[in-house]
């Protein structure tokens, strides 16, 4: 009888140890997986140009387009913003920006943090014979359906694309220096 009780105690101890080992990793895995932040929308963001003159190359000028989280919670940006030139009345001028094809990753913006995308504005004179003056940009955060106007006067073309945009990257862009 004593032998049966010892064997039962051993089985109970082993069963308890197996249950504890099986439970601990599952519990810690649940704690380790953070909840993913929602996608940033215009309600979370302030979209603006970095200060200073853009960096130029032959036929193009590059500007950092900044995305600052003005919300109270983290949010994510992944991919390329939608960008179009707009006239004084808010109507689109010429085709919207093409994407530069660079690789992109998800950027998580804590409240108060900023990310950027590089916007290349090509010289309208190299692309068309008549300048159309754009009064600003209409910018859609990546994956969003809402947009935000950004004041920015530049020469555009009515039927030719002058804007090329890169993916959103973490951190503030530096005018004349940041190229990706």
Judge if 27 and 79 occupy the same domain: no
* Domain count of the fold of the chain: 2
Query: pLDDT tens digits for 40-80?
Result: 999 999 999 886 666 777 889 999 999 999 999 999 999 99
| Res. 7: pLDDT tops 90 | no
Judge if 23 and 81 occupy the same domain: no
Q: What was the pLDDT predicted at 55?
A: 76
Query: pLDDT tens digits for 47-58?
Result: 998 866 667 778
The tokens describing 179, both together, are 């190229």
Task: Confirm whether pTM is higher than 0.95.
Answer: no
Judge if 51 and 121 occupy the same domain: yes
């Amino acid at each position: 009888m004593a032998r049966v009780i010892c064997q039962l105690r051993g089985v109970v101890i082993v069963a308890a140890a197996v249950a504890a080992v099986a439970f601990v990793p599952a519990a810690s895995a649940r704690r380790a997986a953070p909840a993913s932040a929602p996608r940033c929308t215009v309600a979370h963001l302030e979209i603006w140009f970095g200060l200073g003159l853009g960096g130029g190359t032959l036929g193009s000028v590059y500007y950092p387009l900044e995305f600052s989280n003005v919300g109270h919670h983290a949010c994510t940006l992944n991919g390329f913003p939608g960008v179009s030139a707009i006239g004084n009345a808010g109507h689109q001028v010429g085709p919207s920006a093409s994407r530069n094809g660079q690789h992109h990753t998800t950027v998580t913006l804590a409240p108060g943090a900023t990310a950027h995308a590089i916007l290349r504005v090509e010289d309208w004179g190299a692309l068309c014979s008549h300048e159309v003056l754009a009064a600003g940009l209409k910018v859609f955060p990546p994956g969003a359906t809402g947009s935000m106007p950004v004041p920015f006067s530049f020469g555009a073309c009515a039927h030719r694309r002058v804007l090329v945009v890169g993916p959103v990257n973490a951190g503030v862009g530096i005018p004349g220096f940041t190229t990706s």
